[in-house]
Amino acid sequence: MASYIVNPEVAKLFDGRTFTWVGSNPLAWYMQEKLGLPRSSQVIEQGTISACLPSLADLWGCKKVCLVGQDLAVRPDGQTHTKDSFYTDTHYPEVDFSRCKKMDGNTCSEVFVEEKLYVYLDTFRQLTQHFKNISFINTSVHGVKIEGAPYKGY
């Protein structure tokens, strides 16, 4: 799943299997209003594709969201994403630890959270508060605690 602004090279990797959307489309809403149709649902994204999951879960009537791979933490060697991710190809996982916060981990006493990942951590916290009808769990063993998404092992 991806917003319409995803890098075209990434979208090509999943040709024919990509679900895209526009989160805010005033023209579509105007047309729906003039045709007497209800306004389409808005998908919350907030800068990370994972943040759309609660919106879609709510839209589809799901009662539980299981966060897998959302550790939001930096490993001691500076790695922030899996080795087979797009970010590794761009050499992104080079982290300046002085720009990280030490926070409580799911199974570790503390983990490092880089600035951008901290923003996503706060996004997930806000989403768990917004979607009170959904139960969230976080399966990341070495990740940071996410308020509203308690850790549960497999």
For 37-47, write each residue's pLDDT tens digit: 777 666 666 76
- pLDDT value for 9: 79
Q: Taking Cα atoms as reference points, which of 145, 97, 154, 93 lies closest to residue 124?
A: 145
CA 132 to chain CA centroid, nearest Å: 17
Do the Cβ atoms of 50 and 136 come closer than 8 Å? no
Where the chain has pLDDT below 50, the residues are none
- pLDDT value for 68: 83
- pLDDT value for 87: 59
Q: Look up the pTM and report it.
A: 0.69
Q: Which residues contact 148 (CB under 8 A, 6 or more apart)?
A: 124, 125, 127, 128, 129, 136
- pLDDT value for 81: 65
CA 139 to chain CA centroid, nearest Å: 14
Two tokens at 144? 């940071």
**Start-end of H helices in the chain:** 8-13, 26-34, 53-59, 86-89, 115-130
Helix, strand and coil percent figures for the chain, each rounded to 5: 30, 15, 50
- pLDDT value for 4: 58
C-alpha angle 30-32-37 in degrees, rounded to nearest 5: 145
d(CA 77, CA 2): 29
- pLDDT value for 59: 79
